[in-house]
Amino acid sequence: MTGQRAYIGVGANEGDVVETLNAAVEALRLLQQCEFAGVSPFYRSAPIDAEGPDYTNAVVAIDTVMEPYALLLALLDIELRLGRRRRDAADARIKSSRRVDLDLLLHGSLLMRSTPLTLPHPRMHERAFVLRPLLDLDPRAEVPGRGPACELLRACAAQAVARID
């Protein structure tokens, strides 16, 4: 399949997180117009700028011919099917526990900023729980406009992420 390599962050900290994340990965594996390219190991990390239990996170790679907005809508649909309930817009910036969270991190080397979607995902460059699994999938990954993911991860050294085996 031709198209763009996209990376999707998957995370949760409510309920049976491993079961939920495995279901999310399977739903991503079955997405139309996409070819599954891999999933990183799962990692556990403390919440950043939020309270609640630790998060479990991973990154999924897909090759897709879907444009970014269509892919975003597909991710929102998967979240809904897996039990995610979104807050209203006034509460959107408040970080809270989540049953499942799917974030479009990268779509090729696309740089964009719009109301529903910013690429690369905002703050991914300062989140070890995103960069560590991204580097598992592609050790030479670059975050457009920010640089090599390995250098960005070094800047996040104070954020502990523990691989779940």
Catalytic position from the list 88, 98, 99, 123: 98
99 included as an active-site residue: no
Residue 32 · residue 150 · CB < 8 Å: no
Q: Which of 16, 77, 81, 84 is catalytic?
A: 84
Distance from C-alpha of 135 to C-alpha of 149, rounded to nearest angstrom:
7
Is 101 a known active-site residue? yes
From 29, 103, 136, 138, the catalytic residue: 103
Three-state DSSP class for residue 133: helix
Given the structure tokens 């408040």, which residue do they identify?
94
Tokens 């560590």 belong to: 132
**AA identity, residue 138:** D
Q: Report the alpha-carbon distance of residue 44 to residue 88 in Å, rounded.
A: 28
Beta bridge partners of 102: 10
Scanning the structure block, which residue is given the tokens 């998060």? 55
| 91 Cβ contact partners less than 8 Å away, ≥ 6 residues apart | none
Q: Considering the candidates 29, 88, 101, 163, report the single residue annotated as catalytic.
A: 101
Q: List residues with catalytic annotation.
A: 84, 98, 101, 103
